[in-house]
Amino acid sequence: MQTETTLDTYEDLLQAIVANDGGREISDPATGEVVGRAPEHTTADLDAAVDAARAAQPAWAALGHEERSAFLNRAADAVERSAEALARLLSREQGKPLNGPNARFEVGACAAWLRATASFELRPEVLVDDGESRAELHYRPLGVVGAIGPWNWPMMISVWQLAPALRMGNAVVVKPSEYTPLSVLALAAVINQELPAGVLSVVSGGRGVGERLAAHPGIDKVMFTGSTATGKAIIRSSADTVKRLTLELGGNDAGIVLPDADPAAIAEGLFWGAFINTGQTCAALKRLYVHEDIYDAVCDALVGFAGQMPMGVGLEEQNVLGPLQNKAQFDIVADLVQAAKDSGARVLLGGEPEAGQPGYFYPTTLVADIDNDNPLVAREQFGPALPIIKYSSVEEAITMANGLDVGLGASVWSSDPAKAREVAARIEAGTVWINKHGAVDPRVPFGGAKASGYGLEFGVEGLKGLGAPQVISY
Pick the CATH number of 253-441 from 3.40.190.10, 3.90.245.10, 3.30.420.40, 3.40.309.10: 3.40.309.10
Q: Is 282 a catalytic residue?
A: yes
Supply the pLDDT for residue 147.
98
Count CA atoms closer than 13 A to 464's CA, side-chain side: 15
CA distance linking residue 150 with residue 177, whole number of Å: 5
pLDDT for position 20: 83
Q: Which residue in the list 93, 106, 178, 282 is annotated as catalytic?
A: 282
Judge if pTM exceeds 0.85.
Answer: yes
| CB burial string 407-429: b at 16+ within 10 A, e below | bbbbbbbbeeeebbeebbeebbb
Rg (CA), the chain: 23
> Residue 22's pLDDT is what?
86
Give the pLDDT of residue 1: 55
Q: CATH assignment of 10-249+452-473? A: 3.40.605.10
Active site residue 248: yes
Q: What is the pLDDT at residue 21? A: 82
Q: In the chain, where are the structural domains located?
A: 10-249+452-473, 253-441
Phi, psi of 344 (to 5 degrees): 100, 5
Q: Give 10-residue mean pLDDT values along the chain (474 residues).
A: 73 92 94 96 97 98 97 98 98 98 98 98 96 97 98 98 98 98 98 98 95 97 96 96 96 98 98 98 98 98 98 97 98 98 98 91 98 98 98 98 98 98 98 98 97 97 97 97
Given 248, 380, 428, 457, which residue is catalytic?
248
Tell me what pLDDT residue 212 has.
96
